[in-house]
Amino acid sequence: VADASGCSMIALLHTGAAKFPQNLLSRARQAVSLLLPAGVLKGFSSIVSRKLASHGFGASMAAMSSFPPQRYHYFLVLDFEATCDKPQIHPQEIIEFPILKLNGRTMEIESTFHMYVQPVVHPQLTPFCTELTGIIQGMVDGQPSLQQVLERVDEWMAKEGLLDPSVKSIFVTCGDWDLKVMLPGQCQYLGLPVADYFKQWINLKK
């Protein structure tokens, strides 16, 4: 889980940093530092550079003034948080489901999806989980189930035009855990289908 904790929260730049805890902004900064050397974000407009700089993302962003055409229209940056403990509990359950929609032409953040998820097998978060993720019990109590969240993801994808066959988009993750292990594993446990758009992604570590 810790390895996958740095990608999606750059959404905070778009939605207003003041509304979110400082630890989430730290995760956003980590995400950008991973995206740049990986070649996924090959540059920024001056506006985006100033926006990033204003949130402490460093001088390297200001140096980015142009970027080449990208293969995809949109990058969908995704990062789950899940139930966890030492030793690890089974099954793990997704408790935070965030997606950031990044325009592959302008590198502007166009939209975000964010929901907390109610765990059902282990509904009580462990102290280790809260310390690792920053998610407290009150954030997940009474939240939608994974099935309901996946339905809302699909609605969001449709609303954003991402289900149009002519629109090329791909998920971006820090490692394969999110979409190779966590989501399909929990869906299999719950008897839920996995949408085709979750079956390919860019692993920044590779």
Is the pLDDT at 44 greater than 60, yes or no?
no
All domains of the chain, ordered by start, with CATH?
74-203 (3.30.420.10)
To which H or E segment does residue 172 belong? Answer: strand 169-173
Predicted confidence at residue 106, as pLDDT, reads: 87
pLDDT in tens, 148-173: 999 999 999 999 999 999 999 999 99
pLDDT in tens, 54-104: 544 443 343 344 567 889 999 999 999 999 999 999 999 999 999 999 999
Predicted confidence at residue 21, as pLDDT, reads: 41
pLDDT in tens, 175-197: 999 999 999 999 999 999 999 99
For the segment 13-30, the average pLDDT, to the nearest whole number, is 43
Single-letter residue type at 57:
F
Average pLDDT, the chain: 79
Residue 33: pLDDT band by 50, 70, 90 thresholds? low
Predicted confidence at residue 99, as pLDDT, reads: 97
For the segment 123-144, the average pLDDT, to the nearest whole number, is 98
> Among residues of the chain, what percentage have pLDDT more than 90?
64
The structure's pTM equals 0.73
Choose among 59, 98, 65: nearest CA to 80.
98
Predicted confidence at residue 15, as pLDDT, reads: 40
Predicted confidence at residue 65, as pLDDT, reads: 47
Q: Alpha helices, DSSP H only, in 5-161?
A: 11-15, 22-38, 46-54, 59-62, 127-133, 137-140, 146-159
Choose among 51, 165, 25: nearest CA to 106.
51
Helix 146-159 vs helix 183-190: crossing angle, to nearest 10? 120
Predicted confidence at residue 3, as pLDDT, reads: 36
Is the pLDDT at 10 greater than 60, yes or no?
no
